[in-house]
Structure 1
């Protein structure tokens, strides 16, 4: 099997023994626990304030099916990070040497076993909700593998598929609640554009390792200048969904988040114009991640007038 052969090649011949704590922290680094935590927060906050605003906080938090969907999401995303780390081990050793050393504390064979276990748990959790949920997560897991194995090596498919795969867990939530309002689709479009900007910054940051591994990203194929121009265009495109979200009274105080985003993007574009090094692109990448994280936390601003009532 291709994966097993790769695991054997990437596993040290004389493994160094480490404590359970170090291995656990290493695994947490591999699955990017902080990203998964943000995703869980985003799913629950979206469920409370967007997808099911008529339900009480207690009803949402104690919804077993929602819990199983979130757990399936956690397992499938974690397994996705593992397989991504598996294929990118050599590239990460160049782009992120410190993180790569931390990640390597867990043997590749062990990561592979955890990968299959997490996928099994995800599908079983989906099956406990419905056969459609099980099918969704089965397809989602397959798409993540296709992305890690093939799609991420090509410019356009890498950009679009990475953004789509990040959005798909929210698709499972809003289908579960059967909430198909315009505000949700507009918000999804905004997030999709921001995620594409994030991916472009990530590609600019990782040019050195991508070249070494023959990954044909947009900056490598078309150059940094073209990538900056494309990023500028995507930032302009975000203005359209932002404008429509401003107009929705249902957004409540979250409209101020979009004012904040507009100001931050102006600073972002200036820094992008000046950027010419890995450090510069790392800063820009972190700015976009900050916009996403603050956006998740800002979901509570949608319904501030009834937060206390829903908590009680």
Structure 2
């Protein structure tokens, strides 16, 4: 059970859910030409989840001293799972993900696509061992990698079967997935800043240079509030440009995306204590879920 907890299974389930929504809630309703059979798509999900799990594991291995300060009751490495066992688990599950990715890339006739899995695994290792100590670099990188879990579905499912005849229609569908990837990037970026605000004491002792450490908790909280407001306004603008004619979609976004984000902005403006930042983190995770689940609207509302 402790090995499973190391992988952060809830986060992995969210990644798998989003990829399923991209293929079956977005690509299929738009009748996009796709390359992956159900079996090959399952392999893509497994490969992505394995590599993400490996990133979570190696991050915990290298963060054990910081975690003993920030969340002592949740430390697993050294408390049921040794550092050596954790590192071995990381290598096995990451190798499994890369291996499945290599097989999948060759199965669809795009062997070069295997480098995506290798590159993502390497960047997750660099993040855990070095880049997360650099101001905003690690935050930016991990947010890019979260968005890549969405974009990679388009790379494997749309790109191999795109040709001059269907290029325009394929690109229109791919652009929508890019919009969701951008949404995921911004929400995750803000959430990483919120987590840095939560973990400021342990991060200082661990030698990390996060935004709250660099400019102070108060100023960093203001940045979180501003980014939350910008994200909210951007989604409202998107609704106005693309969804205003679809009442059900507008209501969905208003109540399940915009309203929680507005509540987030209010709470971010008031946040001062660690428990406040915990609430902000949970709110962003909720908005990430509801935002991604909006893809379920396409078969019934948009089209």
Distance (whole Å) between structure 1 residues aligned to residue 192 and residue 87 of structure 2:
26
Distance 1:103 1:44, change over 3 A: farther
For 1:21, the equivalent position in structure 2 comes to none
| Offset of residue 306 of structure 1 | 10
Structural RMSD (CA) = 2.5
Distance (whole Å) between structure 2 residues aligned to residue 247 and residue 51 of structure 1:
21
TM-score, normalisation: structure 1: 0.82
TM-score, normalisation: structure 2: 0.84
For 1:160, the equivalent position in structure 2 comes to 140
For 1:205, the equivalent position in structure 2 comes to 198
Distance (whole Å) between structure 2 residues aligned to residue 27 and residue 250 of structure 1:
46
Distance (whole Å) between structure 1 residues aligned to residue 29 and residue 279 of structure 2:
36
For 1:222, the equivalent position in structure 2 comes to 215
Aligned length: 281
Q: Runs of 5+ in structure 2 lacking a partner?
A: 106-110, 159-169
| Offset of residue 62 of structure 1 | 5.3
Check if 1:49 corresponds to 2:25: yes
**CA contact under 8 A between 2:187 and 2:284: conserved in structure 1?**
yes
**CA contact under 8 A between 1:163 and 1:195: conserved in structure 2?**
yes
**CA contact under 8 A between 1:26 and 1:103: conserved in structure 2?**
no
Distance (whole Å) between structure 1 residues aligned to residue 250 and residue 260 of structure 2:
14
Distance (whole Å) between structure 1 residues aligned to residue 216 and residue 73 of structure 2:
27
Check if 1:79 corresponds to 2:54: yes
**CA contact under 8 A between 1:30 and 1:85: conserved in structure 2?**
yes
For 2:242, the equivalent position in structure 1 comes to 248
Distance 1:66 1:94, change over 3 A: same
Q: Runs of 5+ in structure 1 lacking a partner?
A: 1-24, 308-312
For 2:75, the equivalent position in structure 1 comes to 100
For 2:161, the equivalent position in structure 1 comes to none
CA offset digits 1:115-145 (Å, max 9, x no partner): 1111221122112222223211000000101
Q: Quick check: 254-263 or 91-100, which moved more?
A: 254-263
Q: Quick check: 173-182 or 189-198, which moved more?
A: 173-182
For 1:151, the equivalent position in structure 2 comes to 131
